[in-house]
Amino acid sequence: MKPTNNKIALFTLAGIATAPGFMDPFREELSFQLRSRGYIVEAESIYPYGDWSQRVMKQLAAIFRDMTDIQERLWTSVGARAAKELIFEAAKKGQIVLLIGHSGGGISAVQVALQLIKEGYLPPLIVQIGSPKCPIPLVLKEHVLFLSAVGTGGKRDPVTRFGRWGGWVRKFGHLKVWKMRAYPPEEVVDIPLIGSHPDYFRTHSPYVDETGSSNMMKTLRPLLSWLERKLP
């Protein structure tokens, strides 16, 4: 079900040990692109696991917990708890919630989306950029885009190799079988990036190719194409 208004609450969710302001240029450019298409956009940056001033090992442990229990059977998501207040406020206002998660931020985006659904709100739109894989519950599948950098020589962003989309699926009554791609996102897109995991949002040399296209623009193109199909 698509939302029916033109008000978007855009949140960028950073991964671990991220510099303050790291995703802000991307957030501002995406906001500009959406406003040019007629949307009213409110945008915020969130650091679900803390920024680079917090202990890295503690942040890693939190992301591992969130990855391994995406259904929250055993514990409440660390990343979702940190991001929940602002995002829920936007949902209460009836805005279209758009979550852009880089690295571990893509995991917390899925976690907070599940909490929104449990509270009766519409599923948000989620873009995972350079994120570890995590099972995408079926209720969210058509609302998730996964972007992964592929650099020179076909070298893939190493962070996107972590995690899994596999899971148990029910077959033949009560019998369950393991399937490697049981719960993938709706769409997975490889981006021909210069560089790797930290470089999706670069706009300057040497992150500009011979055609004048920067890494940021290469990241934005498939994202905007997907949003054009999802937004009202």
Instruction: Dump pLDDT digits (tens) for 23-43.
Output: 999 999 999 999 999 999 999
- Tell me how far apart the alpha carbons of residues 51 and 20 are, in angstroms, rounded to a whole number: 6
Instruction: Dump pLDDT digits (tens) for 106-128.
Output: 988 998 898 899 889 999 999 99
- Maximum alpha-carbon separation in the chain: 57
Q: Which residue reads 């995972």 in tokens?
A: 128
pTM summary value: 0.87
User: Do the strands 176-179 and 167-170 form a parallel or antiparallel pair, or are they unpaired?
Assistant: antiparallel
Contact 112, 141 (CB under 8 A): no
